[in-house]
A and B are shown apart, each in its own frame.
Chain A
Amino acid sequence: MEAVGTWRERLEQTALAPVVNTSRWYYLWVAFLLAVLAWGLYAYSVQLRDGLIVTGMRDRISWGLYITTFVFFIGISHAGTLISAILRVTQAGWRTPVTRMAEFITAVSLACGAMFVIIDLGRPDRLLNVIIHGRWQSPIVWDVVAITTYLTASLMYLFLPMIPDLALFRDRLPGKVPRWKLWIYRIFSVGWVGNNSQRRSMASAIALMMLLIIPIAVSVHTVVSWIFAMTLREPWNSTIFGAFFVAGAIFSGIAVLIILMAVLRKVYHLEEYITEKHFKYLGFLMTAMAMIMIYGNLSEFITVGYKLEGEGEFHFEQLFLGQFAGFYWYYFIGGLIVPCLLTLLPWTRNIRGVVLAAVLVTVAMWIERYFIVVAGLRVPLMPYEPASYTPTWVEWSVMAGGFALFALLITIFVKVFPILSVWEIAEEHESAEQSPAPAPLVPEAVAAPAGGG
């Protein structure tokens, strides 16, 4: 029992460390992010003043980097769902050290993604019209509803398992951190003392959420794809789009999670909890999604390409040989094939290899969103010369600002909230000590909806 005590003590110290100690590098990093964000804000102010004329978008290619980034961010938000919900449902015990990070990514990237739709609007001042005059028939309204629901659900899902850890912070940190932080811990730990009644309530709430959040997450990226698939554009007019986007979302979500894991592990010395095993397992999951993506690509392009109906010929030419060929083949080889090899071949199946694969996948998935949006719009509808699109400095700056905001929010989150799910890791550790078989995390979980707090 002594050993367990010190192990637990060390775990708590590791979880508390980021909140208590702040290095100079942290401030430099935040200053850098703030500078990029400020530059992005300046660029956006230029866009607000002059209109979307300062972007490279025009009538024929009327969506560009902003919508690409929107789809990308909504995609990586699926990290939280997969790791937290699916792994929790399947009671995969190894997930416990990474759940919190995955849920951070979900909440932050959803907020950033939603922001990019607003940035893309010609009249952001009329944003409220979506509520005042919203039409349930419009894919944009489906998106607004689905993303709002998902953001709420993922914030709850982030918050619920954090309650015991916040209570830990509340009890352990007085005198060590500023008062506003303590105030946050006191409020958000909602009087948690860990008695049986509280445990039951939380277990049933988590159980309900993990079942609820999976269909919500699937619906979110499905309706994001329907923004495109509900139009008559040749490359978008596809039944596979919803499933394809969901697979791509989970795929890119795992990749971003692996990158964040590697960074936080290094910065906050989490080597004991986040081990090579986690990278390998997530790498395998990523590879599984990559294979689904490869299958999706084959399925879509072979059924279309065999017949080459309508403008399909033009699209195939530009995608595989022409203007977008570099993007496509980087995506297919560098973003799907190579990452598979990196995680499957034994001599690259290590932290370095998996992180490299994750970086490749992240870049490739952004590029995939880019050519889906831009190449899709480039296919001419009438007898005119195909248009071209070159993003301007404003778009690049706003996008950089968006990524900076994403990193900044994660950085701040890490500084305020526990990055490790202490109680879950401890529970997993204890059950592993007692018996080799993984014990169910929340025994009363299934009875939750009927039980009532």
Chain B
Amino acid sequence: MSEGDHNTGSEEPQEAPGLNRRHFLKYLGFGAIGAAPLPILPSLLRKTLDQKTVRSNGAPALAPNGQIRQWTMIIDLRYCDGCQSQGTPPQCTTACIEGHFSPEPMEWIEVYEAELPGDGTQFIPTPCQQCQNPPCVNVCPVAATFSTPEGTVLIDQNRCIGCRICMAACPYDRRFFNWGSPPVPPEALLADYSAEHQVPAKKGTVMKCDFCPDMARAGTLPYCVQGCPNDAIYYGDLEEDIATNGEEVVSASRLLSQNQAYRLKEDLNTKPRVYYIPGHGEAVGRDAFTEGRQPTEWPWIERAKGAREWKR
């Protein structure tokens, strides 16, 4: 039932032969008035209200010969000790917070301590899983969160209406809401907002790890990869089948296959782009029974004025 069919019916024929037919056409006209707004009204509103495009992500990142990059992250848990050996909060989280000014208490890459069989623990740095079958994108009513051609999921905080259904839909607890005016340091206010780095944060909208696509496009590794002192996080491109932790370059497929990599909650079929190599920090000398990590800090929070903080 396209709107075109109805538009022809909305012109009322004055000299229709039969009463019934005339009424039928009238009803058809009313039906057109009823049905036409469904696709037409939104596009008209879009045209009149939105001169600029709302989505503020850049063009897809391309490999040297034009293929679209397919960003991925491979986290080698054998090398992750939750920064116990450093005696610091997890440095991936810290680097992310300093780079994105993600408001307290948002840890876009959060290092969970999970129990292992036998009561030991492992640390799992968890960024947004960048699902290829993303539950959050599916449910968003306004396409404020969307999948990019590079296979990542971004949020446009200029469009988000704050209904939080994406937070209900995310099975990884990887979405965060600006419950109040987000605490933002002065320098963050100077940043030019883009969905690709989400600075400055906006009140009443949802945020999450964005996979640093603007940096990756320019050939810089994400903050968390740069921040990891043990080089446990690889960032790469599945299109070129390549990944790097900043020290060495590896074949992504070979790294995944040779180390029995897995994805979180694989049975949900969300198809994440974040892979894990099982481990508990043994490669950097962590004992599986050494528990605990330093709490995350927001070093710039003192410089953020006039905002109320909240807990998760």
Contact = CB atoms under 8 A, between A and B. Distances in A.
Interface residues of B, number: 56
A133 interface: yes
B50 to A, nearest CB: 7
A10 interface: no
A381 B171 contact: yes
Interface in B262-287: 268, 270
A124 B206 CA distance: 14
A382 B112 contact: yes
Given A130-B161, A137-B138, A141-B141, A59 B177 contact: yes
Contacts, number: 159
Interface stretch (A17-25, A228-236, A270-278, A280-288): A228-236
A117 B162 CA distance: 11
A144 B38 CA distance: 12
Contact of A132 (B24, B46, B172): B46
B163 interface: yes
A135 B143 contact: yes
A230 B142 contact: no
B312 A59 contact: yes
B179 A58 contact: yes
Interface in A108-140: 117, 120-124, 126-135, 137-140
Contact of B49 (A51, A53, A128): A128
Contacts of A124: 161
B42 A60 contact: no
Contact of A128 (B45, B160, B168): B45
Given A52-B204, A133-B46, A140 B312 contact: no
B139 A230 contact: yes
Nearest to A120: B163
Given A51-B181, A135-B142, A452-B20, A126 B172 contact: no
Contacts of B139: 137-140, 230-231
Nearest to B158: A126
B168 A58 contact: no
Given A58-B179, A123-B205, A50 B169 contact: no
B168 A377 contact: yes
Interface of A: 50-53, 55, 57-60, 62-63, 117, 120-124, 126-135, 137-141, 144, 227-228, 230-233, 377, 380-384, 387, 452-453
Considering the complex of A and B, which 9 residue pairs feature the smallest CB-CB distances, nearest first?
Answer: A122-B162, A122-B204, A53-B180, A140-B141, A138-B141, A53-B179, A133-B142, A232-B171, A383-B114
Given A232-B169, A233-B168, 11 more contacts: A58-B311, A121-B163, A121-B204, A123-B162, A129-B159, A138-B165, A139-B165, A231-B139, A232-B171, A383-B112, A384-B173
